[in-house]
Amino acid sequence: MIKSKARITAIGSYVPKRRLTNDDLEKMVETNDQWIVQRTGIKERSVANEDEFTSDISYKAVKNLMERYDKSVDDVDMIIVCTLTPDFKTPSVASYIQAKLGIRNTGAMDLNVACAGFTYGLYVANGLITSGLNKKVLVIGAETLSKVTDYTDRTTCILFGDGGGAVLVEYDEKQPSFISSHLGSEGEKGNSLYSTNLSNTMNGKNLIGNGNIVQNGREVYKWAVTTVPKGIQSVMKNTSIELENVDWFVPHSANLRMIESICEKSGFPIERTLYSLVNYGNTSAASIPLSLDKAVREGKIENGNKILLYGFGGGLAQAGLLIEWTI
């Protein structure tokens, strides 16, 4: 990674008020709190109202960021919304946010890399700023997964939740946030985790599903716990920093057992790992900013902390970033 000229300068988040607990799910499918907690670590999730969409959650996450940021966002020159659940195929959620915030001179685009979306979004933001193309990029990770979840399928409906987080990335040559990165994609494994759209055929196979999320949980689990530890090594190989000197690890909040296994294989202590799944479930592109903002509000993250972010999931795709926190 070439020397970054971009710094993360602000953060905000929002989750819908409506809660869906494991007890609620017990009334909907054949499952129980003990099974869900033991297999996933998840206790409850946020669920959007029927008339609440990814754009609404994104907007509220940005409003929360603006309340905590002492400058204006009027000069944002690129808006990236990372999501697999946009309100519309077109226009983008990013254009909706641009209009709602009244930002005039900006680009706007959605980026879909599922659960790796937010780390891909940050990677792109850093690239745009470091190359000199942009000066101030708003990166949002937001989802309404409840709208593509089959609440009769106990293997998926226990996992997913709704929410959003937003960060600002600005030009700053003196105190850049981005240290190193590693990206990957294995499209040949795409049918392990998908939501159909215009086609029902992938890699020559007919898929079941009607737009809801379908997954082979075991395959995704096995892939994540072998791929992410190797990816972490690749991120660290590109720096002079040792893994033991990383202050916090923020993996995608998919499943606590998966995170424990990744930590064990990487030799990283679970105590220094931040996740948002216990109360929010798996929120895909929103999970990493939600974990980060939760830790910021709890006063866990301090200026100068080295943080390893790792997004992974649908694609199957992954992106890890080592950053320094200097908000």
Ligand X SMILES: CC(C)(COP(=O)(O)OP(=O)(O)OC[C@H]1O[C@@H](n2cnc3c(N)ncnc32)[C@H](O)[C@@H]1OP(=O)(O)O)[C@@H](O)C(=O)NCCC(=O)NCCS
Between β-strands 78-82 and 136-144, what pairing exists: parallel, antiparallel or unpaired?
A: parallel
Q: Residue 318 in 3-state DSSP?
A: strand
Q: How far apart are CB 108 and ligand X at their closest, in Å?
A: 26
Number of residues that bind ligand X (CB under 6 A): 17
Contacts of 321 by beta carbon, 8 Å cutoff, 6+ apart: 119, 122, 123, 178, 179, 180, 181, 235, 308, 309, 310
Q: Which residues are catalytic?
A: 115, 252, 282
Distance CA 123, CA 80 (A): 11
Q: How far apart are CB 223 and ligand X at their closest, in Å?
A: 9
Residues between 300 and 319 with contacts to ligand X, criterion CB under 6 A: 313
Of 115 and 139, nearer to ligand X (C-beta) is 115
Does residue 40 touch ligand X according to CB under 6 A?
A: yes
Q: How far apart are CB 114 and ligand X at their closest, in Å?
A: 7
User: What count of Cα atoms within 13 Å lies in the side-chain half-sphere of residue 149?
Assistant: 23
Distance CA 229, CA 264 (A): 9
Does residue 225 touch ligand X according to CB under 6 A?
A: no
Does residue 146 touch ligand X according to CB under 6 A?
A: no
Contacts of 203 by beta carbon, 8 Å cutoff, 6+ apart: 187, 188, 190, 191
Between β-strands 162-171 and 6-14, what pairing exists: parallel, antiparallel or unpaired?
A: antiparallel
Q: How far apart are CB 302 and ligand X at their closest, in Å?
A: 29
Distance CA 33, CA 44 (A): 10
Query: Binder to ligand X among 26, 217, 265, 279 (CB under 6 A)?
Result: 217
Q: How far apart are CB 140 and ligand X at their closest, in Å?
A: 19
Residues between 249 and 268 with contacts to ligand X, criterion CB under 6 A: 254-255
Does residue 43 touch ligand X according to CB under 6 A?
A: no
- Type of residue at 114: A
Tell me if the bond preceding 91 is cis, omega within 30° of 0: yes
Please report, in angstroms and rounded to a whole number, the separation of the first and last CA atoms in the chain.
Answer: 22
Does residue 139 touch ligand X according to CB under 6 A?
A: no
Residues between 60 and 119 with contacts to ligand X, criterion CB under 6 A: 115
Does residue 218 touch ligand X according to CB under 6 A?
A: yes
Does residue 221 touch ligand X according to CB under 6 A?
A: yes
Interface residue list for ligand X (CB under 6 A): 31, 35, 39-40, 115, 154-155, 158, 215, 217-218, 220-221, 254-255, 282, 313
